[in-house]
Amino acid sequence: MIEVKLHDIGEGMSEGEILHYFVKIGDSVKMDQPLVEVQTDKVAAELSAPKAGVVKEILAEPGQTVKVGTTLVVLESDTENSTIMTKTAPITVEKETTGKAMTFRRVLAAPYTRKIARENQIDIEEVVGSGINGRVIDEDLYALLEGTKKPKQPEKQAKPTPELRSSSYFTEKPKKERIIPYNGRRKQIAVKMAESVYTIPHVTHFEEADLTALMSWRKACKETGLSFSLGAYFIKALVISLKEHPIFNSMLDEKQDVIRLLDFYNIGLATNAPDGLIVPVIKNVDQKSIMEIDQEMKELTKRAQTNELKGEDLRGGTFTVSNVGPLGSTGATPIINAPQTALLAIHKTKRRPIVTKDDQIAIGEVMTMSMSFDHRIADGAQAVAFTNRWVELLEDPKRLVLELV
């Protein structure tokens, strides 16, 4: 017998939610054929058959959250099956092992949406999604049910937790309670953030940069057909600063009592996705041009929005950037993406009066930023020197060009 277990398909994952099975008991499967789709805190991933065989047992139900190492499917290999068939010749399993191969459509949908579909006996593979890139959303399911029956609400929503109802904290009870499931990616984000805050002594350093010259240079480049995002430029300049201040591209190894200075530069992009925050990683940024970084940033962001990232896209980050400026943020104290040493948050750029080098008043494009760092590894003076160098490259684009020559 072959046991197909939930293994670690994402960096540091401990559990996953069963979305749905592609097979049922008695089905014959080929090697590498998808058996089950699992939602981790970061990605939806398929587990495939390690060998050809017949499905003998399915040990976890769709919607169930299981720990890494849990057996989900038990297969009887072709070798075992042929041995049994030889001993019991009169028995045949021809019924569903022949005919057309089964085909499946990968459906984009959140775990909560899938739960609504299951509890209302809706085949989600038959639903045409109205969300981004065909994503099935709650409203699509409610539209199908409208006029026939009311959607069956999840048990947790129908029966609020006793702790909340019996608590004397609230002076009055809500007339109609609404809840959000605390599981999947949301729960894993909470676990990781809490671990980071409890373990790392955070210090946040604030700085600002005058992007007037950079904006002008970017506009000139665009007129010649070279268009790139400011984010790509920020990351390219960041790598130069990291090379000169390697303490911020490091990781603390407490078991060996050493700080490991890394000689590769993999920049994580904190991305706001429908199912929660996720951090895809651009690998070996120091070996890529601004245009290549720009293209990869856009591709990773698109795949994050459609829940199509793979485990490899999320591993190996050495430093994380969170560009929240487009959302309107003016400042924050970001939580470090452990085990990294620092996280840089880029905030809103505003037009405001500035004093030029020749003591004149002018209107400039001023961007604010905040960098949280691990005070066990680095000190405030190092953080200031690091951001000063980064700001220098942002405020004078010619300096970056010279650094790249």
Domain ranges, residue 183: 153-189
Handedness of CA 132, 138, 139, 142 (dihedral sign): positive
The CB density around residue 367, as the number of other CB atoms within 10 Å, is 22
In a shared domain, residues 168 and 230: no
Look at residue 405 and tell me whether its pLDDT is greater than 80.
no
What's the CA gap between 229 and 225, in Å, rounded? Answer: 13
* pLDDT the model gives residue 318: 96
In a shared domain, residues 286 and 352: yes
Q: What CA–CA distances, in Å, run from 260 to 201, 243, 299?
A: 18, 14, 30
Percentage of the chain surpassing pLDDT 70? 82
Ordered strands of the 202-210 beta sheet: 202-210, 361-374, 342-355, 319-323, 267-269, 281-282
In a shared domain, residues 175 and 65: no
3-state secondary structure of 361: strand
Beta strands in 178-273 (DSSP E): 202-210, 250-253, 258-261, 267-269, 271-273
Q: Which of 72, 89, 104 is the last residue of a domain?
A: 104
In a shared domain, residues 209 and 166: no
* pLDDT the model gives residue 41: 66
In a shared domain, residues 306 and 387: yes
- Between 292 and 118, the more confident residue is 292
**Type of residue at 3:** E
Q: Is residue 281 part of a domain?
A: yes
Look at residue 270 and tell me whether its pLDDT is greater than 70.
yes
Q: Is residue 147 part of a domain?
A: no
In a shared domain, residues 182 and 249: no
In a shared domain, residues 271 and 308: yes
Q: Minimal CA–CA distance to 384: which of 369, 399, 396, 398?
A: 369
pLDDT tens across 1-33, in order?
Answer: 889 988 776 555 678 888 888 889 999 988 888
In a shared domain, residues 241 and 365: yes
What's the CA gap between 66 and 290, in Å, rounded? Answer: 42
Least confident of 35-39, 91-95, 212-216, 222-226: 91-95
What's the CA gap between 377 and 250, in Å, rounded? Answer: 9
In a shared domain, residues 10 and 63: yes
Q: Is residue 132 part of a domain?
A: no
Number of folded domains in the chain?
3
Q: Is residue 123 part of a domain?
A: no
- Between 206 and 311, the more confident residue is 206
Q: Is residue 258 part of a domain?
A: yes
Q: Which of 104, 130, 163 is the last residue of a domain?
A: 104
Q: Minimal CA–CA distance to 124: which of 381, 247, 110?
A: 110
* pLDDT the model gives residue 390: 96
Q: Residue 72 contacts by C-beta under 8 Å, 6 or more apart in sequence?
A: 4, 5, 6, 18, 35, 36, 47, 58, 59, 60, 66
pLDDT tens across 318-347, in order?
Answer: 999 999 888 888 899 999 999 999 999 999
Q: Is residue 124 part of a domain?
A: no
Residues with active-site annotation: 375
In a shared domain, residues 158 and 58: no
Beta strands in 240-288 (DSSP E): 250-253, 258-261, 267-269, 271-273, 276-278, 281-282
In this prediction, residues 272-300 reach a mean pLDDT of 92
Longest distance between any two alpha carbons in the chain, whole Å = 98
**Residue 181, preceding peptide bond in cis (omega within 30° of 0):** no
Look at residue 100 and tell me whether its pLDDT is greater than 80.
no
Mean pLDDT over each residue of the chain, to the nearest integer:
82
Q: What CA–CA distances, in Å, run from 165 to 35, 168, 170, 174?
A: 41, 8, 9, 10
CATH at residue 352: 3.30.559.10
Provide the token pair at 399: 């300096």
Q: Residue 131 contacts by C-beta under 8 Å, 6 or more apart in sequence?
A: 108, 137, 140, 274
- Between 207 and 68, the more confident residue is 207
3-state secondary structure of 320: strand
Q: What does pTM read for this prediction?
A: 0.63
Beta bridge partner(s), residue 374: 202
Cα-only R_g, the chain = 26
H-helix segments, 3-89: 78-87
In a shared domain, residues 255 and 321: yes
Using 50, 70 and 90 to split pLDDT, how confident is the model at 169? low
Q: Are 127 and 140 spatial neighbours (Cβ–Cβ below 8 Å)?
A: yes
In a shared domain, residues 255 and 330: yes
